[in-house]
Homo-oligomer: A and B are copies of this chain.
């Protein structure tokens, strides 16, 4: 059976709350989507069963399973080498062990299934459909609840010896810095994620008496969006929160360049909506801190896969790689 008879792949963006499925063609057009809740299943088998039930409807819409080449999954703590999810803290059926999710889906659907972590899926998505088309060396940094990364070197994802490489959110950027969700101190994620931005805002509010629109909000409920709205209205304290965040991210990128000298850094996820508020101090700090020989070489781009479908497209791109 030739390639053209199997024009689609299934993408699964497996998040902590929702599992979003899309059937995608080779140009990145999403032909059909569906979703289920990720939680609420006692076992992974029940989760896979519910997924396949939901999928069956959209598989039928595109002409049946024979039209589908493969499936790609982007999932937290996904291990590409083994097709497993390993000790994912936010998944009730995956937090205390190694779940062979790719094999479970493959057995049920009868097609090949590949799995990787969500940030790697984003990187493959950018390379397949997005702003990284044609690039051989780039780094995708996902700025959401956490900070993730997918690193491409010589046109290949960097998986390392164990499948877990590319955890730039857990590079320690501040000695004895903030406690991170991983249990260590000073990780990039503790500062430059959406939750990190909110944390910085709370710190700035606590340590000064400076007037700020943010003082009208319950400190515990401040979000990165609140901060960017306030900054957009000219709030100085809120602007300094993004200056601080962008600077730290720019300094970190300067260090990442010493590693793999990427053609571009591509930012993906909710925090990129802050736009120049974040990108301007980021680029300034990068230019100031990067080693001379690298100056002016890397581009700074925002993901070309905007909207809620980005993660599904990324996951589907993993399917094309099989």
Which A residues are closer than 8 A to B by beta carbons?
77, 86-87, 136-137, 151, 153-154, 156, 158-168, 170-172, 174-175, 182-184, 251, 254-263, 289, 291-294, 297-298
What is the bound-complex CA distance between A163 and B292, given in angstroms? 14
List chain B residues, Cβ under 8 A from A183.
292
Q: Which residue of B lies closest to A256 (CB)?
A: B259
Asked if A153 and B158 sit within 8 Å, CB to CB, the answer is: yes
Not counting A161-B261, A259-B259, a sample of 17 additional A-B residue pairs whose C-beta atoms are within 8 angstroms of each other reads A86-B293, A136-B161, A137-B165, A151-B259, A154-B159, A162-B261, A162-B293, A163-B261, A164-B261, A165-B258, A165-B260, A166-B259, A167-B293, A171-B255, A172-B251, A172-B289, A184-B289
The 5 closest A-B pairs by CB, nearest first: A160-B261, A165-B261, A161-B263, A167-B258, A137-B161
List chain B residues, Cβ under 8 A from A172.
251, 254-255, 289
What is the bound-complex CA distance between A174 and B186, given in angstroms? 13
Q: Which of B137, B159, B291 contacts A261 (CB 8 A)?
A: B159
Output the residue of A151, A160, A171, A251 with the most chain B CB within 10 A.
A160
List chain B residues, Cβ under 8 A from A258.
165-168, 170-171
Known interface pairs A137-B161, A262-B161; A291-B167 also in contact (CB < 8 Å)? yes
Q: Which of B162, B168, B259, B294 contacts A294 (CB 8 A)?
A: B162
In the complex, how many angstroms separate the beta carbon of A81 from the nearest chain B beta carbon? 11
Asked if A297 and B167 sit within 8 Å, CB to CB, the answer is: no
What is the bound-complex CA distance between A293 and B169, given in angstroms? 14
What is the bound-complex CA distance between A138 and B262, given in angstroms? 19
